[in-house]
């Protein structure tokens, strides 16, 4: 069980989380003094509602990501928002990498994935199967994420993210049906790829879910 501890030394008072078994003594990692355990209010998390997986948000292509930690984080986010498959391409680290496992926290064991050495050939194949590609890129022809129009609800949506420095492969960009960028106000004009993926994935999930709800409401009203 994980819980928080606080150093009993008045000159330290360091507070930190640690894995703990009943009766175990935990010393302060900062000064070595005794600590007191702050036991969790709830030992088990409450049940969360399950997202509707019938929405078009289907899969994602991770093209030549260089950071295993970013890949693991994307696995965890994709699993959480109901994405059904991840396509790992090029130099993207696989779930066998310890860095992926460290940030995916088990999501890599439950979310289906496959590896493809060439993202462009993969995308061409998926396009023939009817996938609608949504690229995340700060290109001149990209649209604001929060100002996009209606996306097709009858095709599976596939999010495409690219290398942390070079971005999405130019030929892969041309295969995207739409490019989206996230508006920013600070000095830096880009976000960490895993953070950007999370923003886009959850916004599209909300967009798709809202569209489904609207369709149901209209059917009830006019049926």
Residue 47, SS3? coil
Where are any strands of DSSP class E within 11-72? 15-19, 35-38, 57-63
pLDDT of amino acid 206: 85
203 shares a domain with 110: yes
10 shares a domain with 116: no
Does 51 fall in a domain? no
Does 155 fall in a domain? yes
Does 43 fall in a domain? no
107 shares a domain with 33: no
67 shares a domain with 7: no
Higher-pLDDT residue of 24, 101? 101
31 shares a domain with 134: no
208 shares a domain with 115: yes
Number of domains in the chain: 2
Could you tell me the pTM of the whole model? 0.81
**What's 140's domain CATH number?**
3.40.1280.10
Q: Is the pLDDT of residue 211 over 80?
A: no
18 shares a domain with 77: no
61 shares a domain with 31: no
175 shares a domain with 82: yes
186 shares a domain with 115: yes
Higher-pLDDT residue of 127, 219? 127
pLDDT digits (tens, 9 = 90+) for 8-60: 999 999 999 998 887 889 999 999 999 999 877 555 555 655 656 567 989 99
Confidence of residue 218 (pLDDT cuts 50, 70, 90): very low
105: left (phi over 0), alpha (psi -120 to 50) or beta: left
Which is it for strands 35-38 and 2-7: parallel, antiparallel or unpaired? antiparallel
Does 50 fall in a domain? no
Mean pLDDT of 68-93: 96
Domain that holds residue 6: 2-38
Does 52 fall in a domain? no
64 shares a domain with 13: no
Q: Which pair of structure tokens corresponds to residue 127?
A: 């396009």
Compute the half-sphere exposure of residue 72: CA atoms within 13 Å on the CB side of its CA: 15
94 shares a domain with 20: no
pLDDT of amino acid 138: 87
pLDDT digits (tens, 9 = 90+) for 138-180: 888 899 999 887 888 889 999 999 999 999 999 999 999 999 9
């Amino acid at each position: 069980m994980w819980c928080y501890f606080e150093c009993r030394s008045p000159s330290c008072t360091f507070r930190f989380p640690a894995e703990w078994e009943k009766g175990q003594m935990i010393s302060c990692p900062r000064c070595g003094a005794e600590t007191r355990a702050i036991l969790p209010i709830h030992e088990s998390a409450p049940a969360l509602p399950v997202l509707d997986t019938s929405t078009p948000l289907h899969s994602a292509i991770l093209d030549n990501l260089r950071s295993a930690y970013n890949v693991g984080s994307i696995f965890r986010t994709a699993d959480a928002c109901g994405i059904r498959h991840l396509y790992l391409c090029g130099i993207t680290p696989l779930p066998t990498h310890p860095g992926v496992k460290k940030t995916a926290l088990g999501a890599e064991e439950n979310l289906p994935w496959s590896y493809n050495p060439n993202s462009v050939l993969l995308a061409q194949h998926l396009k023939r199967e009817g996938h609608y590609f949504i690229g995340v890129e700060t290109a001149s022809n990209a649209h604001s994420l929060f100002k996009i129009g209606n996306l097709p609800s009858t095709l599976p949506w596939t999010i495409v993210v690219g290398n942390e420095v070079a971005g999405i492969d130019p030929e892969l960009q041309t295969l995207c049906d739409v490019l989206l960028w996230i508006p920013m106000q600070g000095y830096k004009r880009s976000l960490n790829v895993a953070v950007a993926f999370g923003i886009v994935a959850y916004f599209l999930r909300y967009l798709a879910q809202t569209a489904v709800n609207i369709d149901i409401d209209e059917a009830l009203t006019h049926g």
